[in-house]
Amino acid sequence: MQSLRLVLIAVVLVPVAGACSQSGPSFAGGTGGAGGTSGVGGAMATVDSVAGIPNANGDKLSSSWMMFPCYAQISQDCQTNAPGTACPNQDQTLPFENQGLLIDQSFTLGGDPNTMYNLTIQVDGITEGKYYENGVRADGDAAPADVNVATGLNTLYTGGDPVNFENYNVYKLTVQDAGGNELQHYYLNSMPKVATPYENHNSFPEGYTAVIPVMGGGTILYHQADRNCRAIDNCGPGSRSTSCGITAGRNIPNEPDVQIPATFNGTPISSFNTLSGATQPFHAQAMHITVTNVAVAPSM
């Protein structure tokens, strides 16, 4: 349960039109580019000062990744547990997002611990979709007009939980205050549950902007879950039941010059992804999260 203090400092996200959203809203806020400054009442904030602190693996929130590996292709999937190891966490009494292969990252925020900031992020990637419930989907609950739009879908989902259906993967971002209390959580790969099944051996392009309220000195947590240690391989548009060539698939949208990092979460990418390493199209799935602006949140 949120404390009264957290309720009082909560910032409402207001949807507005965004160039990277396929239809309807993306959550857009402050303007400016990476490294820009913003000040209210003399307080200054920059992308580097708030989102540029290296974590234990030397990674920075300002340009960070969520990925699932490909140790071997199995029909339409990539095997995500290391060869010779069992798929972990198979207790199905656990919450859906705590089952299977789990990948976690933590980023400490800079800034003034007495200040709330609006963090603008750009999310670009190729991942499978997941159904979520009890929260709000940024682009609404209707079927997208074009699930293969080149600039990517807006798949942001605020609050709620994964639907306990099938085994499709979870991509979650949680915001904590300086005391480790949750302010809000978001799922980054939502698809609407409609007549057309999207949990159906598909991968989708993502490209959207979101503004996330954070507290100086707080923490951003990334959490990924793959319940059956099988990730839908990045093999291009449409549902499939067979493997594809290593050169098949789609590159990350909107970032023609992006480079897959040499390491992921402390592991060399050549060991993490033995199928295609750091080349694109990346197998199985990759999501790049870039902080493009930090602004001091208006006082309420």
Is 19 part of a structural domain of the chain? no
Instruction: Work out the pLDDT band at 34, boundaries 50, 70, 90.
Output: very low
pLDDT at 60 over 60: yes
Higher pLDDT, 10 or 175: 175
What pLDDT sits at residue 272? Answer: 93
Is 231 part of a structural domain of the chain? yes
Instruction: Work out the pLDDT band at 38, boundaries 50, 70, 90.
Output: low
- Which range (16-20, 180-184, 279-283, 292-296) has the least confidence? 16-20
What pLDDT sits at residue 44? Answer: 77
What number is the average pLDDT over the span 22-32? 34
Q: C-alpha distances in angstroms, 130 versus 109, 149, 167, 258?
A: 28, 18, 9, 25
What pLDDT sits at residue 17? Answer: 37
How many domains does the structure of the chain reveal? 1
Instruction: Work out the pLDDT band at 25, boundaries 50, 70, 90.
Output: very low
- Which range (23-32, 91-100, 210-219, 265-274) has the least confidence? 23-32
Task: Report percent pLDDT > 70 for the chain.
Answer: 85
Phi, psi torsion values for 131, nearest 5 degrees: -85, 135
Mean pLDDT, the chain, integer? 89
pLDDT at 21 over 50: no
What pLDDT sits at residue 43? Answer: 57
| Token pair listed for 116 | 């709330």
- Which range (44-48, 216-220, 234-238) has the least confidence? 44-48
Is 6 part of a structural domain of the chain? no
Nearest to 200 by CA among 213, 191, 208: 191
What pLDDT sits at residue 198? Answer: 97
Is 10 part of a structural domain of the chain? no
For residue 271, give its domain range. Answer: 25-296
What number is the average pLDDT over the span 60-78? 97
What number is the average pLDDT over the span 283-290? 98
Is 9 part of a structural domain of the chain? no
Is 12 part of a structural domain of the chain? no
pLDDT at 249 over 60: yes
pLDDT tens column, 99-120: 999 999 999 999 999 999 999 9
What pLDDT sits at residue 299? Answer: 83
Beta strands in the chain (DSSP E): 16-17, 25-26, 37-40, 43-46, 63-68, 72-74, 77-79, 101-108, 116-127, 132-137, 157-162, 170-176, 182-187, 204-215, 219-226, 230-232, 263-264, 267-268, 285-296
What number is the average pLDDT over the span 193-208? 97
Is 225 part of a structural domain of the chain? yes
What number is the average pLDDT over the span 159-181? 97
What number is the average pLDDT over the span 200-209? 97
Q: How far apart are CA 40 and CA 296, in angstroms?
A: 6
Is 15 part of a structural domain of the chain? no
